Chain A
Amino acid sequence: MFQYIIRRIIFAIPALIGVSVVVFLMLHATPGDPAQVVAGPEATAADIENVRKSLGLDRPIVEQYLHFVGRAVTGDFGVSFKTGRSVVEEIGHRYLNTLQLAGAAMLFAVVVGIVSGVLCAAFKYRALDNIILVLSLIGISAPAFFVGLVLMIVFSVQLGWLPLTGNDSWRHLILPCVTLGLANAAIIARVMRARLIETLDSDYVRTAYAKGLSGYRVITRHGLRNALMPVITVVGLQMGYLLGGAVITETVFSWPGLGRLIIQSISSRDLPLVQASVLLIAVTFVIINLLTDLLYGLVDPRVEVA
Chain B
Amino acid sequence: MSFTENVDTNVPSAAEPAKPQRSSEWARFWKKFRRSKPALPGGIIVAIIVFCGVFAPWIAPHDPFRPEFGAMLEGPSWAHLFGRDELGRDLLSRVIHGARISLLEGVLSVALAMSIGVPIGVVAAYFGGKLDIVLMRIIDVMLAFPGVLLAIVIVSILGPSLTNTMIAVAVYTIPIFTRIARSATLALMKEPYIEAARSMGMRNGRIMLRHILPNIAGEITVMATLRIGIAVLTASSLSFLGLGAQAPTPEWGSMLASGRNYMLIAPHIVVFPGLAILFLVLGLNLLQDGLRIALDPKSVEP
Interface residues of A (CB under 8 A from B): 14-16, 18-19, 21-23, 26, 29-31, 137-138, 140-146, 149-150, 152-153, 157, 240-245, 247-248, 251-252, 262-263, 266-267, 274, 278, 281-282, 285-286
Judge whether B221 is part of the interface by a CB distance below 8 angstroms: no
A31 CB contacts on chain B under 8 angstroms: 159
**Residue pair B282, A248 in contact (C-beta under 8 Å):** no
B194 CB to closest chain A CB (Å) equals 29
List, in ascending order, chain B residues with CB within 8 A of A282's CB.
144-146, 149
Contact assessment for A244 and B146 in the assembled complex, using a CB-CB cutoff below 8 Å: yes
| A247 with B149, Cβ < 8 A, contacts A143-B253, A266-B156, A282-B144 known | yes
Answer whether A18 and B147 are a contact pair too, CB < 8 Å, given A31-B159, A142-B278, A251-B241. no
Partner-contacting stretch, out of B63-71, B118-126, B232-240: B232-240
Contact of A146 among B143, B145, B242, B274 (CB under 8 A): B274
Q: Which A residues touch B278, using CB under 8 A? A: 138, 141-143, 146
B31 at the interface (CB under 8 A from A): no
- Taking a contact as CB atoms under 8 Å apart, the answer to whether B145 and A14 are in contact is no
Q: How far is the CA of A252 from the CA of B242 in the complex (A)?
A: 12
Instruction: Give, as a whole number of angstroms, the nearest-CB distance from B166 to chain A.
Output: 17
How many B residues touch A, CB cutoff 8 Å?
42
Residue of B nearest to A30 (CB): B157
Provide the residues of chain A in CB contact with B157, threshold 8 Å: 26, 29-30
Closest chain A residue to B136, Cβ basis: A14
Assess whether A144 is in contact with B237, with CB atoms less than 8 Å apart.
yes
In the complex, the answer to whether A266 meets B243 with C-beta atoms within 8 Å is yes
Picked from A146, A263, A286, the residue with its CB within 8 Å of the CB of B277 is A146
Q: What is the bound-complex CA distance between A137 and B39, given in angstroms?
A: 13
Cα A18 to Cα B145 with chains together (Å): 10
Is A248's CB under 8 angstroms from B241's CB? yes
Say yes or no: is B8 at the interface (Cβ < 8 Å to chain A): no
Q: CA separation between A142 and B285, bound complex, in Å?
A: 11
- Residues of chain B lying within 8 A (CB to CB) of residue A274: 156
B contact patch SS: helix
Are A15 and B141 in touch, CB under 8 angstroms? yes
- What CA separation (Å) do A245 and B263 show in the bound complex? 22
- For the complex, what is the distance from the CA of A141 to the CA of B264, rounded to whole Å? 24
Q: Which of B251-288 contact A (CB under 8 A)?
A: 253, 256-257, 260, 263-264, 267, 270-271, 274-275, 277-278, 281-282, 285-286
**Cα distance A245–B147 when bound, in Å?**
6
Q: Can you identify 5 A-B contacts, CB atoms within 8 angstroms? A: A149-B263, A150-B274, A243-B147, A263-B242, A286-B144
B148 x A146 contact (CB < 8 A): no
Instruction: Tell me if A149 and B145 are in contact (CB < 8 A).
Output: no
A248/B146 in contact, CB under 8 A = no
* Known A143-B236, A153-B267; contact A15-B156, beta-carbon cutoff 8 A: no
Q: B148 to chain A: which residues have CB within 8 Å? A: 244-245, 247-248
Pairs A-B, 6 closest by C-beta atoms: A244-B147, A18-B141, A146-B274, A240-B146, A244-B146, A141-B282
Residues of B within 8 A of A29 (CB): 157
8 Å CB contact of B263 from A137, A142, A153, A263? A153
Bound form: Cα–Cα A48–B239 in Å: 33
Q: A18-B144, A146-B275, A248-B237 are in contact. List 20 more A-B contacts (CB 8 A).
A: A14-B141, A15-B141, A22-B145, A138-B282, A141-B229, A142-B274, A146-B277, A149-B256, A149-B274, A150-B271, A150-B274, A153-B270, A240-B146, A245-B147, A247-B148, A263-B152, A266-B152, A278-B145, A281-B149, A285-B146
Instruction: Tell yes or no: B153 within 8 A of A by CB.
Output: yes
Residue numbers in A under 8 Å from B282 (CB-CB) = 137-138, 141
Chain A residues closer than 8 Å to B264, beta-carbon distance: 153, 157
Q: Are A145 and B144 in contact (CB under 8 A)?
A: no
What A residues does B240 contact at CB under 8 A?
A: 143, 145, 248, 251
Residue pair A146, B270 in contact (C-beta under 8 Å): yes
Which residues of chain A have C-beta atoms less than 8 A from B237's C-beta?
143-145, 248
